[in-house]
Structure 1
Amino acid sequence: MGCCHYHPVGEGCDGAFTVDTSRVTFGRGCLAELGDRARALGMKRVALFSDARVARLPVFEKARQSLLAAGLDVVVFTEVHIEPTDESFLDAARFASETKPDGYVSLGGGSVIDTCKAANLYATYPADFLTYVNAPVGVGKPVPGPLKPHIACPTTSGTGSEVTGITIFDLLAMSAKTGIASHALRPTEALIDPDCTTSLPSEVVAASGLDVLSHALESYTARPYVRRPAPARPSLRPMSQGANPWSDLGCREALRLMGLYLERAVKDASDSEAREQTMWAATLAGIAFGNAGVHAPHGMAYAVAGLVRDFRPSGYPDEEPLVPHGMAVIVNAPSVFRFTAEVSPERHLEAAQGLGADTRGARPEDAGEVLAKEVIRIMRAVGMPNGLSGVGYTEADVAALAEGAFPQQRLLQNAPREMSKPVLTDLFRQAMRYW
């Protein structure tokens, strides 16, 4: 598909899209480049962000030594909270304000990268916490200017945070996830070294991989960019632009790779090809959704993760209840795609085919079911819970889940169909169980 209007521009809608991404270096062993790249960005005093588990792995010392060998002063923060909260973001921001680094490095999964983004923001432009948080939960004030340079080094093949301007957290007062979205938050560079995923437990590979899969599916089926209202000024064009020819390229390839390699990457940690290809898929899907936006499965996931009671997944820290982000997303996905397919059945069928489904003979009216069944097949193959009931929810929770998801308007408005509270209620009900 070429760079053209594959839908007519709607009245009052935008007729252009913008492509943004971090500078990306990808390849085995490229983490060793960290010190040289940090120095080239002018860093002298570096804040190295990680979490307690990654800090005990060889990759952490490799990163630290690379920075030290480049002659840089390194201050370390390893108190990142898995599935960050407003409180843990503020702790990180206080550390950054006190140590006054002139550059940042994040080494870890999405929680680490997101925490580093927030620390950089609030240390650079101090403000009341809700100032930059997405409306309607927060004020949604634009970030005033550029941040300090940030090199993101992912150790999971999932969130894509290393190439997006989005940071996500739990707002404890609301028991719900929300976030901050700004071009300024996008890391300056991403060093993506597949060797960093070698020690990942299979459960983490599965959940993070399904986050990748849903990034691609949601961006590919999002409202087209020519259906999004035109911004007041071109510089205000949002990152969640809607599906566009650039994002489509990344989505298609990410879906193909996940269909081929995700199950292998989960089942065999020694399958280096599968681990590498799923990490490349994560990068492609991250760049895609960073320029198109995700929609309802992610918007609903914030309520699923925020209202968790007692679910503790294997492969993750068990200090407190947790629904990992990718798991919280994928339990909603089949329900959502059954609903959205009528708007663009050809795209839903193409997505299913990309994942490996046999779509021969499928009619447009079959598209939602075909894609849902393929996602469910993959969920079962990699050991995901059976819908919302599998992570501890019941029919009695449906109303609260819908209330928790509805404020995520930045995401829900990117869906191809309207996501009202009654619609969300029905989607959550249908997501309770799939097999």
Structure 2
Amino acid sequence: MAGRQRVVHLLQQLEHAACRCPAHSNTFHQGGGAASCTVRKTEYAFEMASSNIRYGGGVSQEIGMDLQNLGARNVCVMTDQNLSRLPPVKIVLESLLKNGVKFKVYDNVRVEPTDTSFKDAISFAKKHSFDVFVAVGGGSVIDTCKAANLYASHPDADFLDFVNAPIGKGKPVTGTLKPLIAVPTTAGTGSETTGVAIFDYEPLKAKTGIASRAIRPTLGIVDPMHTLSMPPRVAANSGFDVLCHGMSYPIAGNVKTHSAKGYSVEHPLVPHGLSVVLTSPAVFNFTAPMCPERHLEAAEILGADIRQVKRADAGAVLSDTLRQFLFELQVEDGLAAVGYSNEDIPALVKGTIPQERVTKLSPRSHSEDDLAELFEASMKLY
């Protein structure tokens, strides 16, 4: 893992980085402004909409009281088989028992869920008439619990009704869902705050999801102590989730034989954070011409000396900085190291095309040929 000094440096750089939000990037704010990008000017508007969050060491012990306050009589606790033996789940269940809350545990959540695993959790939820849902785990657990709550509350809906277009029908959620309390054990997806549930759609070997405010957790209980119980690779991969979102989906969805380090699962797995980070050097080299200044700032945050770097070299500098960062974290050496070859590129491109919800956020437009070149450039990192 990265050394303590490297981590401290990263945090210090983030603390002093220029704010790019619409308010603080205006030239009248504090007598300065953000460095201007060269193309694709965009009008911005934003809305803050998220779950209530309780943060603090040990706050998971309070969940029994929260459920009492909700008047919960039959609670569904969802987790996965690995977590079911670890402290986060034990702490939550002890709190429920202490406060006399009746519950049933579903611990068959699949790490990197699929439509099949979603349907299994949905079936469990439909059988028991739960009045509150509790998810204890990472993004896979929380997203699965969201889906179970959604479809248990809409028992007549077809599975694809609420799945994002073009794979699903993208219908609006009209019914009322049960309260859902999310207790995250990783720090990457932010699923405890969002109305999004992501899964692998097996017929197309591509990731898609459900997006609706209706499935957003009622409360996120963020207990930093849970990070201590996570294997190092799990903790690292969950953090990579912040880097860059759409090309990762087919990488995870088309996995063949790769077994990720630190994950005790019986099926092949490329964790979402790992699938994200493997293409990041190529992706940022591709997007850099649209706003070199921001790419250089990112490189500086990651430890690069950019004082003599030309704007034209921003992409190369950020890419090289990322590669060094990933090398120090002992990340697999590109797509080839997780089982892919150039022969797989057409399938990877095909799996990326439906991900417009995230790929359209790229500051640079791209064609299928561009995507193919990015996947090819990501086959080997070091």
TM-score, shorter chain, exceeding 0.5: yes
Q: Give the equivalent residue in structure 1 for 2:154.
A: 125
Contact 1:54/1:108, CA 8 A, preserved across alignment: yes
Contact 1:177/1:306, CA 8 A, preserved across alignment: yes
Q: Give the equivalent residue in structure 2 for 1:364.
A: 311
Structure 2 unaligned blocks of 5 or more:
1-18, 27-35
Once residues 210 and 15 of structure 1 are traced to their aligned partners in structure 2, the CA distance between those partners, rounded to angstroms, is 26
Once residues 49 and 322 of structure 2 are traced to their aligned partners in structure 1, the CA distance between those partners, rounded to angstroms, is 29
For residues 26-74 of structure 1, what are the alpha-carbon distances to aligned partners after superposition, in whole Å with 9 as ceiling and x for unaligned? Answer: 1211111111222333433211111111111232121012123233211
After TM superposition, the runs of 4+ consecutive aligned structure 1 residues lying more than 4 A away are 5-8
Contact 1:412/1:419, CA 8 A, preserved across alignment: no
SS for the counterpart of 2:293 is helix
Q: Give the equivalent residue in structure 2 for 1:327.
A: 274
Q: Give the equivalent residue in structure 2 for 1:413.
A: 360
> As a proportion of its length, which structure holds more helix?
1
Alignment pair present for 1:86 and 2:115? yes
Contact 1:406/1:420, CA 8 A, preserved across alignment: no
- Of 46, 50, 60, the residue aligned with 1:17 is 46
Once residues 207 and 104 of structure 1 are traced to their aligned partners in structure 2, the CA distance between those partners, rounded to angstroms, is 26
Once residues 434 and 138 of structure 1 are traced to their aligned partners in structure 2, the CA distance between those partners, rounded to angstroms, is 35
| Number of matched pairs | 350
Structure 1 unaligned blocks of 5 or more:
215-296
Once residues 93 and 86 of structure 1 are traced to their aligned partners in structure 2, the CA distance between those partners, rounded to angstroms, is 10
Once residues 316 and 136 of structure 1 are traced to their aligned partners in structure 2, the CA distance between those partners, rounded to angstroms, is 32
Once residues 281 and 230 of structure 2 are traced to their aligned partners in structure 1, the CA distance between those partners, rounded to angstroms, is 26
Contact 1:209/1:326, CA 8 A, preserved across alignment: yes
Alignment pair present for 1:159 and 2:175? no
Once residues 274 and 44 of structure 2 are traced to their aligned partners in structure 1, the CA distance between those partners, rounded to angstroms, is 35
Once residues 46 and 187 of structure 2 are traced to their aligned partners in structure 1, the CA distance between those partners, rounded to angstroms, is 27
Q: Give the equivalent residue in structure 1 for 2:62.
A: 33
Once residues 154 and 320 of structure 2 are traced to their aligned partners in structure 1, the CA distance between those partners, rounded to angstroms, is 47
Q: Give the equivalent residue in structure 2 for 1:206.
A: 236
SS for the counterpart of 1:105 is strand
Q: Give the equivalent residue in structure 2 for 1:398.
A: 345
- Of 135, 142, 163, the residue aligned with 1:113 is 142
SS for the counterpart of 1:342 is helix
Q: Which amino acid aligns with 2:200?
A: D
Once residues 148 and 320 of structure 1 are traced to their aligned partners in structure 2, the CA distance between those partners, rounded to angstroms, is 31
- Of 204, 217, 232, the residue aligned with 1:174 is 204
Contact 2:77/2:106, CA 8 A, preserved across alignment: yes
Q: Structure 1's 118 and 318: CA in aligned 2 closer, same or farther, altered over 3 A? A: closer
Once residues 364 and 87 of structure 2 are traced to their aligned partners in structure 1, the CA distance between those partners, rounded to angstroms, is 46
Contact 2:22/2:44, CA 8 A, preserved across alignment: no
Root mean square deviation, CA, Å? 2.0
For residues 252-302 of structure 1, what are the alpha-carbon distances to aligned partners after superposition, in whole Å with 9 as ceiling and x for unaligned? Answer: xxxxxxxxxxxxxxxxxxxxxxxxxxxxxxxxxxxxxxxxxxxxx421111
- Of 172, 177, 180, the residue aligned with 1:142 is 172
- Of 279, 297, 303, the residue aligned with 1:350 is 297
Offset of 1:382 from its aligned partner? 1.1
For residues 128-172 of structure 1, what are the alpha-carbon distances to aligned partners after superposition, in whole Å with 9 as ceiling and x for unaligned? Answer: 111111111111112224421111111122221111111111111
Once residues 146 and 405 of structure 1 are traced to their aligned partners in structure 2, the CA distance between those partners, rounded to angstroms, is 33
Once residues 20 and 361 of structure 1 are traced to their aligned partners in structure 2, the CA distance between those partners, rounded to angstroms, is 41
Offset of 1:3 from its aligned partner? 4.5
Once residues 279 and 141 of structure 2 are traced to their aligned partners in structure 1, the CA distance between those partners, rounded to angstroms, is 25
Percent of counterpart pairs with the same letter? 47
Q: Structure 1's 146 and 347: CA in aligned 2 closer, same or farther, altered over 3 A? A: farther
For residues 88-130 of structure 1, what are the alpha-carbon distances to aligned partners after superposition, in whole Å with 9 as ceiling and x for unaligned? Answer: 1111111111111111110011111110010011111231111
Q: Give the equivalent residue in structure 2 for 1:48.
A: 77
SS for the counterpart of 1:82 is coil
Offset of 1:203 from its aligned partner? 1.5
Alignment pair present for 1:77 and 2:24? no
Structure 1 length as normaliser, TM-score?
0.76
Structure of larger gyration radius: 2
Q: Give the equivalent residue in structure 1 for 2:15.
A: none
Once residues 388 and 130 of structure 1 are traced to their aligned partners in structure 2, the CA distance between those partners, rounded to angstroms, is 30
Q: Which amino acid aligns with 1:367?
A: A
Q: Give the equivalent residue in structure 1 for 2:87.
A: 58
Once residues 180 and 141 of structure 1 are traced to their aligned partners in structure 2, the CA distance between those partners, rounded to angstroms, is 10
Q: Structure 1's 328 and 116: CA in aligned 2 closer, same or farther, altered over 3 A? A: same
Contact 2:82/2:264, CA 8 A, preserved across alignment: no
Once residues 417 and 382 of structure 1 are traced to their aligned partners in structure 2, the CA distance between those partners, rounded to angstroms, is 29
Once residues 46 and 78 of structure 1 are traced to their aligned partners in structure 2, the CA distance between those partners, rounded to angstroms, is 14
SS for the counterpart of 1:341 is helix
Q: Which amino acid aligns with 2:133?
A: Y
Q: Which amino acid aligns with 2:266?
A: E
